[in-house]
Amino acid sequence: ERTRVAIVGAGPAGLTLAHLLHRAGIETIVLESRSRDYIEGRVRAGVLEHQTAQLLYEIGVGARMRREGLIHRGIELQFGDTRHRIDFEDLTNGKSVVVYGQQEVVKDLIAARLADGLGLHFSCEVTAIDPETGSAPGSRVRYRDDGGVERTIEADFIAGCDGFHGPARAAIPAAELNVYDHVFPFAWLGILATSPPVSEELIYANHERGFALISMRSRTVSRIYLQCGVDEDPATWPDDRIWSELRLRLAAGVGKEIVEGPIFQKGITPMRSYICAPMRYRRLFLAGDAAHIVPPTGAKGMNLAIADVRVLARAFARYFAAGSIDLLDAYSETCLDRIWKTQRFSAFMTRLLHRYDTYDPFERRLQRAEFDYLIGSRAAAESLAENYVGLPFAETA
């Protein structure tokens, strides 16, 4: 089999790339190791930046998001017992974010791909990636299909959209990559509960017992995160412990209004910052979590993945339309500019809002001063808001 671009991974990066390339008339095949049920049920991120949502609307996969997504015009920040609203519309000239689950975005993209009758193969695990075979068409991907048969796809290019643990990054010789890796000394316990959100907007709280975040998926389902230790087992968090810990960490008032409902999903998310550069080796291009991880506090992981493939799709479109490699050559640098700024923001939010057991009294007061500066200065609030709703996309042709 052969195609123009072989896409490894059907997460937000791979599926959005496939859709953008289809719109540009470029043929692709998407290979996904997991089943369709598995990836449509995988609970992850939930906040779409202003421009991410605009992009999904523009490319025709936003109809359900327009109906079911929740528009958020601000967030609440809490430090101890002090709460403060960051008003996005006021601070960013009218921008907002959309709360809509990542797996809903994935479902919508899968539906569009299948409706177009295009190549998307589930339960097909990529086992080898050869970024340059030396002969036309240039590169090769090997995979095991859903019946266990080994197959090969020849492609002009490979897009490694296979997440943090996928084979694409590993196919690049280590000596070709610069790796930046930072692991934070805590994790998040994340849950979904049938419980009406206590607040119209997300609440990010720094409490002496640790970070808490109240988010939502709908008017009846809450998504809640609590800071916990890195090695914790969700089994040590029975439902009543989760609810009582949440009440303790929320400022008086909100805590009382929480409606305890059945918790139907629990998981632990580690907190890490990771970048590998460059995001390209010969005919292989990495996008999304395959190349970088941000800690989730800034709600950026999925948004960054989609920003990468927007740049990559434009570069492929230019190459296939005009034979020009300039945008492909610029791909990594173009993306890394946004990625580093997003790492900065995600680390800033993480350090602002978590309990660090190692902090001395001076560092604790500095953290409080950072919060007081935010709530007292329009310039500081504008900076947070501008980043949260999303920095402008890169200008490429």
Q: Which residues bind ligand FAD (CB under 6 A)?
A: 8-14, 31-34, 39, 44-45, 102, 125-126, 161-163, 166-167, 267, 269, 288-289, 296, 299-302, 305
CA distance 103 to 98: 14
Query: Is the omega angle on the peptide bond into residue 12 within 30 degrees of 0, that is, cis?
Result: no
In the chain, which ranges are continuous DSSP H helix? 12-23, 36-41, 50-58, 63-68, 88-91, 102-115, 167-170, 239-249, 254-257, 301-322, 326-353, 361-376, 378-389
Q: Catalytic residue among 300, 319, 331, 354, which?
A: 300
Annotated active-site residue 182? The verdict is no
Annotated active-site residue 300? The verdict is yes
Min separation Cβ 189 and ligand DHB, Å? 13
Question: For residues 129 and 202, which CB has a smaller minimum distance to ligand DHB in the complex?
Answer: 202
The item of ligand FAD, ligand DHB, none sharing an interface with residue 215, based on CB under 5 to 8 Å by kind, is: ligand DHB
Q: Which residues contact 285 (CB under 8 A, 6 or more apart)?
A: 157, 158, 159, 160, 279, 312, 328, 331
Q: Catalytic residue among 100, 143, 204, 225, which?
A: 204
103 scored as a contact of ligand DHB (CB under 6 A):
no
For the segment 237-296, give every residue that binds ligand DHB (CB under 6 A): 296
31 scored as a contact of ligand DHB (CB under 6 A):
no
314 scored as a contact of ligand DHB (CB under 6 A):
no
CA distance 304 to 289: 9
Annotated active-site residue 38? The verdict is no
Annotated active-site residue 72? The verdict is yes
CA distance 53 to 105: 10
Q: Catalytic residue among 100, 296, 319, 331, which?
A: 296
Binding ligand DHB (rule: CB under 6 A), the pick from 78, 215, 303, 334 is 215
| Residue that the structure tokens 């339309």 belong to | 321
Min separation Cβ 102 and ligand DHB, Å? 8
Q: Is the dihedral of CA 246, 250, 255, 258 positive or negative?
A: negative
Size of the site for ligand DHB (CB under 6 A): 10
Annotated active-site residue 359? The verdict is no
Largest CA distance in the chain: 67
The closest alpha carbon to 281, from 321, 320, 331, 347, belongs to 331
Instruction: Please check whether residue 161 is in contact with residue 14, taking contact to mean a CB–CB distance below 8 angstroms.
Output: yes
50 scored as a contact of ligand DHB (CB under 6 A):
no
Min separation Cβ 36 and ligand DHB, Å? 22
Min separation Cβ 17 and ligand FAD, Å? 9
Supply the residues annotated as catalytic: 72, 204, 296, 300, 388
The footprint of ligand DHB (CB under 6 A) covers 45-47, 202, 213, 215, 223, 296-297, 299
